[in-house]
Amino acid sequence: MDIGYYPGCTLHASSSLYDVQSRRVFSEIGITLNEIDDWNCCGATSAGKIDDFLAVAMPARNLGLAEAEGFSEMVIPCSACYSRMLVAQKQLENNIKLKEEINAELSKKVQGTIKVSSILEVLLTPSASDELAAKVTKELKGIQAACYYGCLQTRFPFKIPINDDVENPQGMERILKLLKAKTIDWSYKTDCCGASASVDDETTAFNLMAKIMKDALSRGANCLVVTCPLCQLNLDAYQDKFCKKHGIQDRLPVYFITELIGLALGMSPDELQIDRHFIDGSELLKELDLI
């Protein structure tokens, strides 16, 4: 199966490991990711705070490009990009005038036909998840994951129906179950990690992250699993710092969901670039005899 792929800026930069993992995992289960040609930044959460028009126009260009390339579906691993794209699509649908205005500047006009999917949605289509289950070579016994969805995976500034429970999403849990890993239910799975506040308002962000961390730890999680590169970077890069500040002793590795899938499908830690974590990602895996 061929599918459009929008990596977004971070997957080409600080979180390129996510890009690598996604491509590997998908190809393993028979899905080819085709990077959209000449995509641009989606504007992330910032554009909306600066300019309403840009907030739609930037993602719209990408939608137009993807549609022009003939894809009926585009997968977006980064939750922020996914959210922006979905929301823009919704806004274009609601506002014909805005759509015309934007299209006036675009070489590849946006129709609004393409299906924008998160990585979980694609992995959980029946065919993909069957394939996934069938390809598992290493069961992830011992993993006790706190699946962390953050804000952007399920909540949007518009009413947009999604395939999962907004308040208690199960997508990652369902995937991890296929890999025979255990998951916990916890109170902070969709709470905000502070997003960009880690850069511009550290105190706030650290408070938020500390709460997340404490709940996961006290419920016996041995790792956090995420889909969003921003969440990953926040919880990983700042973990030492916010834990110290809030008196938290333990540390938890923060895996991308693709990382654990890759492992279960038999890929090597190197291949998955597991060494690029701030909180060592290999320690737990060694302890559990998974690598």
Partner 1 sequence: MTAVELEFNFDTAKSFVQEVMERSDQNLLACYQCRRCASGCPVGEETGYVTPDRLIRMLVLGDRESALNNDLVWKCVSCYTCGTRCPNEIQTARVTETLKKISKETHQKPLSPKVAHFHSTFVSSALRWGRLNEIEFINFYEIKNTLTDLKNFRFKAIFSEMIAQGQVGLNMLRRKRLHFGFQSAKGRKEIKRLYQRAKTKQRG
Partner 2 sequence: MSGLESNQTTIRGSVMIAGGGVGGMQAAIDLADSGFKVHMVQKDSSIGGTMVMLDKTFPTGDCSMCMISPKMVEVGRHPDIKLHTLAEVVSIDGGPGNYRVRVKLQPRYVDAEKCTGCGICEEKCPKKVTSEYEQGLTVRKAIYSLYPQALPNTRAIDRDNCIYFQKGKCKACEKFCPSDAIIWDDSEQDIELNVGAVILSPGLERYDAGMRQELGYGRWPNVVSSIQFERILSASGPFMGEVMRPGDHKHPEKIAWIQCVGSRDSHNANPWCSSVCCMYTTKQAVIAKEHDASIQPTIFYMDIRAFGKDFDKYVNRAKEEYAVRYQRAMISTVREEPGTGNLILRYAEPDGKLVDETFDMVVLSIGFQPHKEAVAFAKTFGIELNEHRFPKTDPFVPVETTRPGIYATGIYQGPKDIPETVMQGSAVAGRAMALLSEARGSETTVIEPPAIKDVKDEEPRIGVFVCHCGINIASVVDIETVVNHAKTLPHVVYAGNNLFTCAQDSQEQMKAIIKEHGINRVVVAACSPKTHEAIFMDTIEECGVNKYLFEMANIRNQDSWVHSATPEVATAKAGELVQGAVARAASLSPLDEKKIPVIQRGLVIGGGVAGMNAALGLADQGFEVVLVEKEADLGGLATRLTATIEGADIKTYLNDLIEKVAGHPKIQVLTDALVTGFTGFKGNFTTEVIVGTGMYERKIEHGVVILATGANEYVPTEYLYGQNQNVMTQIELAERIEQSGAEDLNQVVMIQCIGSRNEGNPNCSRVCCQSAVKNALRIKKLRPEANVYILYRDMRTYGLMEDYYMEARGLGILFFPYDPDNPPAAESAENGVVVSFQDQMTGRQLKVRADVLALSAGMTPEDTEELANILKLARNAEGFFVEAHVKLRPVDMATEGIFICGTAHSPKLISESVSQALAAASRATTILSKTQLTLSAVTAEVEQDRCASCLICVRSCPYGVPRINEDGVSEIDAALCHGCGICACECPAKAIELNWYKDDQIICKIDALLEGAV
Task: Quickly count helices (H) and strands (E) in the chain.
Answer: 15, 8
Q: Cα-atom radius of gyration of the chain, to the nearest Å?
A: 19
272-275: long-range contacts at Cβ-Cβ below 8 A with a sequence spacing of 24 or more? Answer: 272/17, 272/20, 272/21, 272/24, 273/16, 273/17, 273/20, 273/21
- Smallest gap from Cβ 207 to partner 2, in A, equals 13
Q: Does 271 bind partner 2 (CB under 8 A)?
A: no
User: Please, which residues have CB within 8 angstroms of residue 97's CB and are 6 or more apart in sequence?
Assistant: none
Which run of H or of E encompasses 183?
strand 182-183
- Overall size of the chain counted in residues: 291
The answer to whether the CB of 77 falls within 8 A of the CB of 22 is yes
* Binding test (CB under 8 A) with partner 1, winner from 5, 6, 26, 39: 39
* Binding test (CB under 8 A) with partner 2, winner from 27, 127, 203, 218: 218
Q: Does 33 bind partner 1 (CB under 8 A)?
A: no
- Under rule CB under 8 A, which residues in 125-184 are in contact with partner 2? 159, 165-168
- Under rule CB under 8 A, which residues in 140-159 are in contact with partner 1? 151, 155-159
DSSP H helices, 106-164, are 119-123, 126-135
Q: Does 41 bind partner 1 (CB under 8 A)?
A: yes
Residue 131 site contact among partner 1, partner 2, none (CB < 5 to 8 Å, cut-off depends on kind): none
Binding site for partner 1 (CB under 8 A): 9-10, 12-16, 38-41, 43-54, 57-58, 61, 101-102, 104-107, 151, 155-159, 166-167, 191-192, 194-197, 199-204, 207-208, 233, 237-238, 241, 273, 275-278
The residue ranges that bind partner 2 (CB under 8 A) are: 159, 165-168, 185-188, 215, 218-219
